[in-house]
């Protein structure tokens, strides 16, 4: 199924037919992965590929030596990796440690002069002033047939609902500017020229837990159980 462009139905974003088409499309491209954690799923996407990894610093150098640091795990498995971040002192430190990282604004019109099979944007979309420009930057650096994978927190998950119930106004990462829901991801793809091809819900469940959750999902929203979205965008 081709990505839905709501403007082909109406100039009214609340048009009933447009909303119905968007809803049907999003459900058709939603995938559930209950046999992996999120990082394991990301590793399966980048293994043996050329990868542009956007936002590698993760705010602080203290992450560089931790086993869960994403860029370190991606760089070990990818065939070729280029990291991008805007924090120049930490970019310099990573290069001194042997990583291949450039200091660049990933919401700019810059072209790094290289093309990749995969662009990974790990929990960055919700931080930037203009996520559309970020997707354009990523799409500009893809080979034909390449993919952008972008992870972002799921505000509809049990994790955030519990916090809302407890705190009234939940306090989350103070550097966040927005939530990126599937509807918003579809619109970001339309505006950036990198269409949303699918989105992934990823969390490892034991066989028993999965059977129980499949029963629960008959009576409550499936996305309630997954704390993150992983969006898949195509090359323009």
Extents of the domains making up the chain? 29-234
pTM of this prediction exceeds 0.85:
yes
> Architecture of domain 29-234 in CATH?
3-Layer(aba) Sandwich (3.40)
Using one digit for the tens of pLDDT, what is the confidence trace for 83-138?
A: 999 999 889 989 999 999 999 999 999 999 999 999 999 999 999 999 999 999 99
Nearest alpha carbon to residue 77 among 100, 55, 46: 46
Q: State the 10-residue block means of pLDDT for the chain, 236 residues long.
A: 90 95 96 95 98 86 79 95 93 91 96 97 95 97 97 93 86 90 97 97 94 90 95 89
């Amino acid at each position: 199924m081709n990505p839905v462009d709501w403007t082909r139905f109406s100039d009214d974003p609340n048009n009933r037919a447009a909303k119905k088409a968007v809803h049907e499309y999003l459900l058709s491209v939603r995938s559930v992965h209950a046999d992996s954690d999120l990082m394991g799923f990301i590793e399966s996407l980048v293994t043996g590929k050329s990868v542009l990894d956007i936002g590698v610093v993760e705010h602080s150098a203290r992450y560089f030596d931790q086993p869960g640091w994403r860029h370190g795990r991606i760089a070990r498995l990818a065939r070729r990796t280029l990291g991008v971040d805007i924090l120049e002192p930490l970019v310099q430190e990573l290069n001194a440690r042997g990583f291949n990282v450039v200091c660049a604004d990933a919401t700019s019109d810059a072209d790094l002069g290289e093309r990749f099979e995969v662009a990974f944007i790990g929990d960055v979309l919700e931080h930037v002033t203009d996520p559309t420009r970020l997707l354009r930057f990523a799409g500009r650096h893809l080979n034909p047939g390449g993919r952008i994978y972008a992870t972002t927190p799921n505000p509809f998950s049990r994790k955030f609902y519990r916090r809302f119930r407890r705190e009234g106004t939940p306090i989350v990462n103070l550097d966040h500017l927005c939530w990126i829901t599937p509807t918003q991801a579809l619109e970001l793809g339309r505006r950036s020229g990198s269409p949303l091809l699918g989105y992934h819900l990823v969390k490892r469940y034991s066989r028993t837990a999965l059977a129980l959750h499949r029963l629960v999902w008959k009576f409550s929203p499936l996305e309630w159980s997954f704390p993150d979205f992983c969006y898949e965008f195509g090359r323009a």
